[in-house]
């Protein structure tokens, strides 16, 4: 018999962790912070090696991050495109490198849908419609013009384009409903306050503010109060996201109606990553579930809100 010392079989090499490269938009809003936390917590939960970057809302930084992930040969790339266009080149590079790409939160306008496996995110047109429907209903018997100002999200972003379109669609049936000013506040409180100050200087008779996110609405509320007006009373305010600070303002009657935009996309993203790695078929579009809240509703659910 072979008297040679036997050696224990080598311990199986720890299964190589799935590596996920995530190129985040930035840290511009409460929504984004909650979204980042959801991605990071879920990746940890899933045991993935997460590489994460913050692009400070600049497309070139997101493109750089994606190129880095390609060089690092990650298993999957995911990102939330800060704007809709300008992605085809870098997405082709990922495709040539045989690295699947998952879109989360925001969409791209690429015609070639083979450039990404799936898009997990809200239906922003639907969100704009929910906001517009509420305004159209509130002012359905208006006998004189209702002057609306609009704080748009980041110029060129899917949420800004679609929330604007959905809202306009729902109010077009009533000629009294007039959007007298519409400008980007870049989804931030600071810019929302600055643009609302300009709106208040230019227009003495604003009836409604439609803000594409809570952070801009909260900035605008500071400007409205500084002008000696009562937010939620002198100026009716509708917003989108339903983050904690927005829901708090709603519970205080400073925001009258909030359309929820769910940032907790982490679990669905990690499920999609596992499915991609397993070679499973994934639906091209995964829509997140979300509701709406009046001031009354906000009071009831505020304590239970996760973000």
User: Which residues contact ligand GZL (rule: CB under 6 A)?
Assistant: 28-29, 31-32, 105-106, 122, 159, 187, 213, 215, 240-241, 261
Smallest distance, Å, CB 202 to ligand GZL? 25
Which residue lies nearer to ligand GZL by CB, 77 or 259?
259
Radius of gyration of the chain (CA): 23
Smallest distance, Å, CB 226 to ligand GZL? 23
Bridge partner list, 294: 257
Smallest distance, Å, CB 77 to ligand GZL? 18
* Token code pair at residue 235: 């100026």
Label residue 244 exposed, middle or buried (CB < 10 Å: 0-12, 13-18, 19+): middle
Which residue lies nearer to ligand GZL by CB, 200 or 218?
218
Largest CA distance in the chain: 103
Label residue 45 exposed, middle or buried (CB < 10 Å: 0-12, 13-18, 19+): exposed
Which residue lies nearer to ligand GZL by CB, 18 or 78?
78
| Residue 196 near residue 219 (C-beta atoms within 8 A) | yes
Smallest distance, Å, CB 6 to ligand GZL? 59
Residue nearest to ligand GZL (CB): 31
Report the distance separating Cα 168 and Cα 128, nearest Å: 8
Alpha-carbon distances, residue 182 vs 9, 129, 178, 198 (angstroms): 69, 17, 11, 11
Report the distance separating Cα 223 and Cα 157, nearest Å: 25
Which residue lies nearer to ligand GZL by CB, 100 or 246?
246
Smallest distance, Å, CB 291 to ligand GZL? 15
Smallest distance, Å, CB 241 to ligand GZL? 5
Bridge partner list, 24: 54
Q: Are strands 101-104 and 76-79 parallel, antiparallel or unpaired?
A: parallel
Which residue lies nearer to ligand GZL by CB, 93 or 245?
245
Which residue lies nearer to ligand GZL by CB, 70 or 83?
83
Q: Which residues contact 99 (CB under 8 A, 6 or more apart)?
A: 69, 70, 73, 74, 75, 76, 77
Instruction: Return the DSSP state at 278.
Output: T
| Residue 217 near residue 242 (C-beta atoms within 8 A) | no
Smallest distance, Å, CB 28 to ligand GZL? 5
Smallest distance, Å, CB 24 to ligand GZL? 11
Which residue lies nearer to ligand GZL by CB, 50 or 265?
265
């Amino acid at each position: 018999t072979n008297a040679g010392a036997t050696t224990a079989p080598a311990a199986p090499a720890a299964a190589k962790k799935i590596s996920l490269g995530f190129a985040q938009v930035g840290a511009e809003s409460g929504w984004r912070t909650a979204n980042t936390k959801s991605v990071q917590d879920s990746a940890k939960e899933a045991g993935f090696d997460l590489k994460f970057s913050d692009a400070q809302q600049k497309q070139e930084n997101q493109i750089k991050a994606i190129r880095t992930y390609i060089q690092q040969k990650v298993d999957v790339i995911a990102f939330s495109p800060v704007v809709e266009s300008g992605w085809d080149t870098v997405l082709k590079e990922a495709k040539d490198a045989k690295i699947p790409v998952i879109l989360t939160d925001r969409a791209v306008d690429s015609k070639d849908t083979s450039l990404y496996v799936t898009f997990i995110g809200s239906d922003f047109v639907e969100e704009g419609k929910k906001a517009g429907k509420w305004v159209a209903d509130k002012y359905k018997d208006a006998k004189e013009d209702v002057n609306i100002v609009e704080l748009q999200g980041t110029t060129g972003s899917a949420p800004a384009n679609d929330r604007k379109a959905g809202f306009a669609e729902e109010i077009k049936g009533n000629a009294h409903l007039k959007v007298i000013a519409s400008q980007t506040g870049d989804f931030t409180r600071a810019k929302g306050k600055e643009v609302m100050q300009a709106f208040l200087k230019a227009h003495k008779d604003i009836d409604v503010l439609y803000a594409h996110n809570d952070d801009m609405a909260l900035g605008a509320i500071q400007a409205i109060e500084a002008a000696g007006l009562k937010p939620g009373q002198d100026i009716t305010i509708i917003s989108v996201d339903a983050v904690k600070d927005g829901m708090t303002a709603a519970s205080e009657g400073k925001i009258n109606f909030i359309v929820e935009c769910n940032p907790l996309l982490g679990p669905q993203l990690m499920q999609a990553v596992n499915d991609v790695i397993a070679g499973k078929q994934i639906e091209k579009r995964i829509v997140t579930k979300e509701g709406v809240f009046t001031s009354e509703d906000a009071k009831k659910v505020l304590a239970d809100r996760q973000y």
